Structure 1
Amino acid sequence: MNHVPVLVAPRRTPIGNAGHGFADLTTTDLAAPVLRDVLSSLRGAGIDAEVDDVVLGNCLGPGGDPARIAALQAGLGVHVPGVTIDRQCGSGLDAVMQAAWRVHSGADELILAGGVESASTAPWRFWPPIPGADPVRYSRAPFAPQGFPDPDMGVAADDLARFRGISRERQDAYAARSHTLAAAADFSAEIVPIGDMHRDERIRAGMTEARLARLRPGFGADGTATAGNSCGISDGAAVVAVTSASRAAGLPALRILGSAVAGSDPAFPGLGPVPAIRKLLRRTGFHTADLDVIEITEAFASVVLAVSDEVGLDESKICPQGGAIALGHPWGASGAILLVRLASQMLRQGGAAVGLAACAIGGGQGIAMLVERVS
C-alpha cells in the first residue's frame, strides 16, 4: 500500500478565451502560478518531500520544455527537473498517468503533474519551403500519415453525428445543460487567480436550447456542430500533486485505481474514449454502474453523446457541473482539468466515491483514468 498513487492539491487557472483574458500570457506564465500554489498547499499540509519532477502536457507550445521552464519560474529550485509530453487533447491526463506509474513503482515520491495550453501565444508553424517557393503556414500538424483519414476535428464531429445518428436537437440540448450547470456552479475553490482573471471567461448564463438552435453550423452547411454545442479555443493550466497514499495520509485525496490508453479509427477520433474506457473497466473490474461521476472533455456535444451511447453511460452523471462546451478546452491542459473537476466534486462533504475521466484525441486515440475518494 505504501506506493499506491493518490492525487492531492488539485488546482487550475481560470480558463480564458483565446486572444482575450490571457492573450499575452505564455505557457510558462500560466503554469508557474499553479505549480507554486500546489507546492504551497502541500507544504502547508505538512508534506515536505522534495519534488522529484514536474510533468506537464502541452500541444502547441514554443518548445524548449515548458514544464522545466515553468518549474524554474515557479521558484521550485534548479534541482527540480521538468518534462513536457504531447498526446494532444489527452496530454494533461497522460502526464498524470505517467507520474502515477512512477510513484507506484516506488521510484519517485512526489511529482507535480498536469497540463498547460496557451493558444493565444502559440507560435506560427511553417512547413520547410520547397525550392523556389515561400514557406507554407499550417495551423496543426497531421494526426495521421498519408493513406489514413485525417479530418479536422469539427468536420470529424459532424461526421460522427451523422454516423451515429445524433441530431442537432440532441446536441443543443446537451450543450444547454452544460452551459446552465456551469453558470450555476462555484469553481472558486479550485481556481488560482491570474492577474485580473478570477473566473472562467467563456461561461454565459441563459444559453437555452432556443438560443443555441439559432446558431449556424460551424464546419459545413449541412453540419450540426456549432459554436454553441462545441468547445471554445482556450488558454489555461491545471496541476495536481501525485504522491503515495502513505505520504498523503489524512489529506483529502483521490486514489488512482487504474488508467488506460487505446487507439481507434482516425476517421472518427471522437470515439477514441470508447476502447480506452472499456479497457480500463476490464482491467479494474469496475462496471459503468459503479461510476458516480464522469468527466469527459466536451470538445463537441456529438463526441460526448456518441461515447455515452456506445459505452452505456448514465448521461446525468457526465460533467454534472458543465464541461468544456461552457468552460473552454485548453487542449494540453484539459485532461488535467478533468481531474481537478473530479476532485472538487468528490472530495466535498458527501461527494461521489468513484469517478472517471476520459478524453478523445485527434488521430483516433482515447485515454481514461479511474479514481476513488480516499476515506
Structure 2
Amino acid sequence: MVAARRTPIAPKGGALARLTAAELAAPVIRASVDETGLAEVGDVVLGNVMGPGGNIARVAALAAGLDVTVPGMTIDRQCGSGLAAIITAAEAIRAGDGRLRIAGGVESCSTTPIRIADGVAYDRAPFAPPGHPDPDMVRAAQDLAVFDGIDRDRQDAYAARSHRLAVLTQGHRGFDAELVPLAGVTADSGPRERMPTMLDRFPPLFPGAGGTLTAGNSCRDSDGAAAVALVPAGAGLPGLALIATATVGCDPALPGLGPVPAVERLLATAGVTLADVAAIELVEAFAAQALAALTRLGLTDQDSRVCADGGALALGHPWGASAAVSVVRLFSRLVRSGAPAGTLGLATAAVGGGLGVAALFEVVR
C-alpha cells in the first residue's frame, strides 16, 4: 500500500449530504492514483453497504477520469466492506496481476435510497435467515453491554477519549495529509471539544433497567470515502505491506464480538502477538462494542495504541468506508509519521450478522 487518502467525514444530512456515493469516492480514487505516479490501473474495488447499486466502483472510477478499460467491482461485507475490498484487491495482485489497484470504501448515508419489498419500505435487509438472531447493530450493542456488564460511565469515558484525541489531532493538523477536501469541506465535522462534558446528558436509547447505550456513546451515521493504492511487493516505494488477513464468523446475536476471533486467527497466522503491534485501528461503532472486543483481546480501555487520534465515535461511521478509513489512519500513523521499517499495524471491524474482519500491515521503507 503506497498511498492512502480519504474525504472528510460528515454526519448524515450534514456538509456532504448532496454528494452521491460515486461523487464522494471519485476524488479519493483520483488522489490515490496521482500520489503513486503510476499510470496503469488494473481495477478499482470499493466497499459499499446501502448505495443505489449499479457498481459504484465502476461509476466512481470513470468519474475519477480513469481509462474506460478499468473495470471496477463493488463489495458488500457491511461495516467491514472497505477492508474486505482492500483484501480482495491485494489477493488479485498476489495471484499474479501486478498492475496498480485502488481499493477502499464509500458511503453516502444521506442519499441512501428507500428500499421496498412487497410494497413496504424497510431500513435494512436481514443479517441472518429466519430461525437465527437478527438484531440491528444498535440493539446488538446494547445487548452486548448487558452481556458483559459494561456500564454507562465506562462507555461514556471511552467516547470522551475518542473525542478528546480527535480534537487534539485536528488542532495540530494531524489529519490534513490524508484528507481530500471536496464540496468546500476541508475537515471532519464530528469531533467536538465539548462532547466529554455533555455525555451524561444524553438519554438512554433503550430506557429501563440496563439501558446504557446513548447517542453520545454511539457513532453517528455519516458520509465519506477512503481509498488506498496497492502495488506488488518490491515496487521500491515506502508504504504498508499487507502480511496477513482473517475474516471469521461469530454469533449473530452478538456481532460486535467479531473482531475477537478475527484478530486471534490473524495473529496466529502471522506468528505474532498484540504486544508486537504498534498501532491498532478498531472501527468504534459503539463504545460498548469496542470495549467488549478490546477486553477480550486483553487490551485496556486506555491503550494508547488503539485509535490514537480518535475513532468512529468522534469522526463518524460511513458504513462501507469505515474499515478503509481505519487503514488510511494506519498509513498516516505509521508511514507518514516515519515509523521504522518492520513496525506492525492492525485494522479490524465488526460486521452485522456476526462477522469480524482483520488485517495486519508492516511498514516498508
TM over 0.5: yes
The one-letter code of the counterpart of 1:176 is: A
Q: Which runs of 5+ in 2 are unaligned?
A: none
Q: Does residue 28 of structure 2 align to residue 37 of structure 1?
A: no
Is it true that 1:320 corresponds to 2:314 in the alignment? no
4+ residue runs over 3 A deviation: 219-222
* Distance (Å, rounded) in 2 between the aligned partners of 1:17 and 1:38: 24
Match of 1:69 among 59, 66, 70: 59
Deviations 1:275-304 (A, max 9, x none): 111110111101011111110000000111
* Contact 1:53/1:111 (8 A) holds in 2: yes
Question: For residues 339-375 of structure 1, what are the alpha-carbon distances to aligned partners after superposition, in whole Å with 9 as ceiling and x for unaligned?
Answer: 0000100013443711110000000000000001113
Contact 2:140–2:253 (8 Å) recurs in 1: yes
Partner of 1:9: 3
C-alpha distance in structure 2 between counterparts of 1:263 and 1:92, whole Å:
17
Q: Offset of 1:259 from its aligned partner? A: 0.5
Q: 2:142 aligns with which of 158, 172, 183?
A: 158
Does residue 242 (structure 1) correspond to residue 226 (structure 2)? The answer is no
- Out of 13, 18, 33, which is 2:12 matched to? 18
Distance 1:20 1:221 in 2: 31
Give the alignment's TM-score, normalised by structure 1. Answer: 0.93
Q: Which residue of 1 aligns with 2:76?
A: 86
Q: Does 1:27 align with 2:21?
A: yes
**Which residue matches 1:59?**
49
Among residues 278, 282, 297, which one is paired with 2:283 in the alignment? 297
Q: Secondary structure at the match of 2:58?
A: helix
| Of 347-356 and 148-157, the range deviating more from structure 2 | 347-356
When residues 221 and 197 of structure 1 are mapped into structure 2, their CA distance, relative to the original with a 3 A threshold, is farther
TM norm structure 2: 0.95
SS in 1 for 2:183: coil
* Cα distance change, pair 29–219 in 1 and its aligned pair in 2 (3 A): farther
Aligned position for 1:287 = 273
Question: What residue identity is the alignment partner of 1:23?
Answer: A
Letter in 2 for 1:91: S
Q: 1:146 aligns with which of 101, 113, 130?
A: 130
Corresponding residue number in structure 1 for 2:204? 217
The 3-state SS of whatever aligns with 1:178 is: helix
- Cα contact 1:95–1:114 (8 A) shared by 2: yes
What is the 5 A alignment of 1:162-177?
162-177=146-161
Residue deviations 1:114-161, cap 9 Å, x none?
000001001100112xxxxxx111011110010011111111111101
Q: Deviations over 1:90-131 (max 9, x none)?
A: 000000001111111212421100000001001100112xxx
SS in 1 for 2:362: strand
> Secondary structure of the residue that 2:346 maps to in structure 1?
strand
Query: Alpha carbon RMSD of aligned pairs, Å?
Result: 1.2
One-letter amino acid of the structure 2 residue matched with residue 325 of structure 1: L
Deviates more, 1:346-355 or 1:179-188: 346-355
Instruction: Tell me the equivalent position of 1:3.
Output: none
The 1-side partners of 2:46 and 2:207 are apart by 35
Choose from 167, 170, 187 the match for 1:183: 167
Other structure's SS at 1:316 match: coil
Measure, in 2, the Cα distance between the counterparts of 1:219 and 1:292: 37
**1:337: how far off?**
0.3
Corresponding residue SS for 2:336: coil
1:52–1:109 contact (8 Å) kept in structure 2: yes
SS in 1 for 2:253: coil
User: 98-107 or 260-269, which moves further after superposition?
Assistant: 98-107
Contact 1:292 1:355 in 2 (8 A): yes
Q: For residue 241 of structure 1, give the secondary structure of its aligned residue in structure 2.
A: strand
For residues 233 and 135 of structure 2, what CA distance do their matches in structure 1 show?
A: 42
CA–CA separation in structure 2 for the residues paired with 1:73 and 1:121: 18
Q: Is the 8 A contact 2:16 2:183 kept in 1?
A: no
- Alpha-carbon distance between aligned partners in 1 of 2:221 and 2:64, rounded to the nearest angstrom: 26
Alpha-carbon offset, residue 188 of structure 1: 0.8
Which residue of structure 2 lines up, in the alignment, with residue 114 of structure 1? 104
Query: Secondary structure of the equivalent of 2:5?
Result: strand
Counterpart CA distance in 1 for 2:94 and 2:295 is: 33
Q: Offset at 1:207?
A: 1.9
Provide the secondary structure at the position in 2 that maps to 1:299: coil
CA contact (8 A) 1:89 1:332 kept: yes
My pick for the range that moved more, 311-320 or 256-265, is 311-320
Task: State the alpha-carbon separation in 2 of the partners of residues 350 and 118 from structure 1.
Answer: 33
Distance in 1 (CA, whole Å) between partners of 2:320 and 2:337 is: 30
Mapped to 2, the partners of 1:30 and 1:207 lie a distance apart of 27
Q: Give SS of 1:120's match.
A: helix
Residue 221 of structure 2 is matched in structure 1 by 233
